[in-house]
Amino acid sequence: MTVDSIAMWLLKIAPMVLGLVLLIQGARALILALISKRWPKVEGEIVASQVAEIPLRGAGEIIHASSGYIPQIEYRFPLDGQTLHGHRIALGEKLTGAPYRSAKARADSYRPGSKVTVFYHPRKPSIAALKLGSPAPSFVSLLAGLALISLGILISWACHVYSL
């Protein structure tokens, strides 16, 4: 195999593989968002709320920052005679690091001692969140996945038609 043939093969396959990964992630997130709408809920209480610093890998040169901040909360809720603890704010949310003020404002909205509604998975109550998943980001992943798969197919077709 020559370097050109390997490059052409990667050009055809890479978008399809990445698209398939995004498609699967989007489908899983969409299913979870839709199923979670029927999860039971219980009243809970915020135990702790703080801001944590996280490193931003590889981003220092681009955004001139080496770290970001995320809200970290802990809540407890009663279920079947037990007290369970949770940390997840929103179902399906990926915390990537934000400016300190933004993370602090979000953490401050969950003051210790305040009452919150906790949604939990009926068969796995350890999976709990204060906000249910939204299907909107799932659709973005699904559409991006479909677009990349289509691009890979189009590139493969063009290579075949034009004998590249």
pLDDT digits (tens, 9 = 90+) for 106-157: 999 999 999 999 999 999 999 999 998 776 777 788 899 999 999 999 998 9
Q: Say what the pLDDT of residue 15 is.
A: 92
For residues 113 and 145, state if they share a domain. Answer: no
* Domain identity same for 52 and 122: yes
Residue 78 is assigned to a structural domain of this protein? yes
Indicate if the pLDDT at residue 61 is higher than 90: no
Mean pLDDT, the chain, rounded, equals 87
Specify the pLDDT at position 133.
75
Check whether 31 has a pLDDT greater than 90: no
Find tokens 């955004």 and name the residue.
63
Q: Which residue has the higher pLDDT, 55 or 69?
A: 69
pLDDT of residue 64: 52
Q: Which domain holds residue 60?
A: 39-131
Is it the case that residue 94 has pLDDT exceeding 80? no
Give CA angle at 104 (100, 109), nearest 5°: 160
Average pLDDT over residues 68-95: 90
At 59, the pLDDT band (50, 70, 90 cuts) reads: very low
Domain count, the chain: 2
**For residue 136, is it within any domain?**
no
- Same domain? 48 vs 125: yes
Query: CB-based contacts of 139: which residues, under 8 Å, 6+ apart?
Result: 26, 30
| pLDDT for residue 46 | 98
* Amino acid letter for position 121: H
Torsion of CA 137, 25, 50, 125, to 10 degrees: 110
pLDDT of residue 95: 65
Residues 9 and 78 in one domain: no
> 160 or 126: which carries more pLDDT confidence?
126
User: Distance (Å, rounded) from C-alpha 33 to C-alpha 49?
Assistant: 25
Residue in the block written with tokens 């498609």:
23
pLDDT-wise least confident of 42-51, 79-88, 92-101, 110-119: 92-101
- Can you give the pLDDT at residue 160? 82
Q: In this structure, are 57 and 104 located in the same domain?
A: yes
**28 and 53 share a domain?**
no
Looking at the structure, tell me whether residues 63 and 12 fall in a common domain.
no
Residue 102 lies in a domain: yes
Residue 85 lies in a domain: yes
Helix axes 3-36, 135-161, angle to 10 degrees: 160
What whole-number distance in Å separates Cα of residue 150 and Cα of residue 164?
Answer: 18
User: Do 21 and 97 belong together in one domain?
Assistant: no
